[in-house]
Amino acid sequence: MPALAPPDLSTSALFLDVDGTLLEIAATPLAVRVEPELTALLRSLLLATSGALALVSGRSIAELDALFLPLTLPAAGLHGFEKRGASGSYDCQRLPAAAALEQARHALLELANQHPGLLVEDKRFSLALHYRRAPQLESVVVRAMTDIAASVRPELELQMGKRVAELRPAGSTKGAAVSELMAEPPFRGRSPIYIGDDLTDESAFEWVNGVGGLSIAVNVGGATTARERLPDVRAVRDWLAQACGPSSLKR
């Protein structure tokens, strides 16, 4: 397969997933680390795109801000439930019912107590059950989470990912978040590039494909709607750095 040519960042809008795309996936969400070279790269990308760079993540925007200090970037958090544009304006989708969240929270905690190795991540408006430390429990997790999701519809819906099952607010997608950001300056009028590594990114791949942009799947061996692929996180960083030029990796 020929090497993927770097984009012209002066006419591009960059949308970057975080875990598995910019950062290596860790055993737990709190175990990830952002190196100074990545912060420097993101700063260079922000300048090269005239601000048309956004993080699009399953993490909350508050968590993204804490990870990438001192940068405060445009972002879509919780799979598109919340969004912050380049102007700093913040908005979110309709809040899920508190009763549904509490019911789901109780069920996930009970499931984790029954099966060592499962980890519940409470994101306030969504709940994730990680089984990276117990991959043999995948069938147990899928069955249980399918049942729990059925009990809290239509407030929450099930989203599967890489060794994680998440109950997120219904109707929130990364594709919708990218579409909304593209309607705002400085993204408007540029060609979108979306890079992601998981099932949660497929809606964004589809939207970007539909408007003639560039969709890139990272470390995905199976089927994907992304038009291009990169093998791993290092390849993503190298490709983005190549687009910026040698100065992008200076600390």
3-state secondary structure string across 128-140:
EEECCCCHHHHHH
pLDDT at 27 (0 to 100): 82
Distance CA 217, CA 239 (A): 13
Length of the chain, in residues: 251
Q: What is the tens place of the pLDDT at every residue in 122-166?
A: 999 999 999 999 999 999 999 999 999 999 999 999 999 889 999
Residues 57 and 74: beta-carbon distance below 8 Å: no
pLDDT at 162 (0 to 100): 86
Q: Tell me the CA end-to-end span of the chain in Å, nearest whole number.
A: 33
User: Please, what are the domains in the chain?
Assistant: 9-93+172-249 (3.40.50.1000), 98-169 (3.30.70.1020)
Report how many helices (DSSP H) and strands (DSSP E) the chain contains, helices first.
7, 12
Q: Judge if pTM exceeds 0.95.
A: no
Q: Which residues are known catalytic residues?
A: 17
pLDDT at 249 (0 to 100): 45
Q: Can you list the positions of beta strands (E) in the chain? A: 12-16, 53-56, 75-77, 82-84, 90-92, 119-122, 127-130, 156-161, 164-169, 191-196, 214-218, 228-230
pLDDT at 28 (0 to 100): 85
Residue 119 CB: number of other CB atoms within 10 A?
18
Ranges of the chain with pLDDT below 70: 1, 246-251
